[in-house]
Amino acid sequence: MAITDYAIAASLLHAEIKAQGVDAVTTVPDLIQFALHDRLKGDPEIRYIECAAENQALTVATGLYIGGKKPMVMMQNQGLFNCINTLRSVGIDARIPMVLSVGAFGREFSNLGKPTTESGRVCLNKVEPVMAALGVPYFHLETADDIGKVAEAFETSRKNECAVVLNIGFFPSWS
């Protein structure tokens, strides 16, 4: 496969996110999901809130959920590690359903098409095992063929009243 085959169109991700009823996004903008950020930021039906830190993105999303919104949180993998305690408190203990779209920052081209657990970089190879240890469901999007995992992640989050990680394996494309 060509490297570009791993770039899921941001327009496709955007449409799937909207189909799940998301009406708010809290984020610490990340390089990996830049094209998706651009689309969501320009959507008048989605409130887009940039936060200073990942902990803040999670707690703001929690407040939005309590207030009747359907938020999604966006960050990169390093930020996910930064907010583990907040993730535990709101996404596990408080049972607030939320999907975290996590960009796989630092992924090597040689790791594309392989499990991220085989990456040589800790910020990649430990995400899935740490989420498993916490009991946080994890879905990995590798190519456009995986787009159904977006709906599956949201359904899992709502059904189980929990946080779910939706790992975006490579840069979404601008198309």
The DSSP code sequence of 148-173 is HHHHHHHHHHHHHTSEEEEEE-SPPB
pLDDT band with cut points at 50, 70 and 90 for residue 34:
very high
> For residue 54, what pLDDT is reported?
97
Contact 165, 97 (CB under 8 A): no
Tokens 């959507």, residue?
43
Domains in the chain, start-ordered, CATH in brackets?
A: 3-168 (3.40.50.970)
Dihedral (CA of 150, 154, 160, 162) sign: positive
Q: Are 97 and 126 in contact (CB under 8 A)?
A: no
Residues 59-66 have a mean pLDDT of 98
Residue 4's pLDDT band (cuts 50, 70, 90)? confident
| Strand ranges in the chain using DSSP code E only, listed in sequence order | 24-27, 47-50, 71-76, 98-103, 138-141, 163-168
Given this model, what pLDDT does residue 2 score? 86
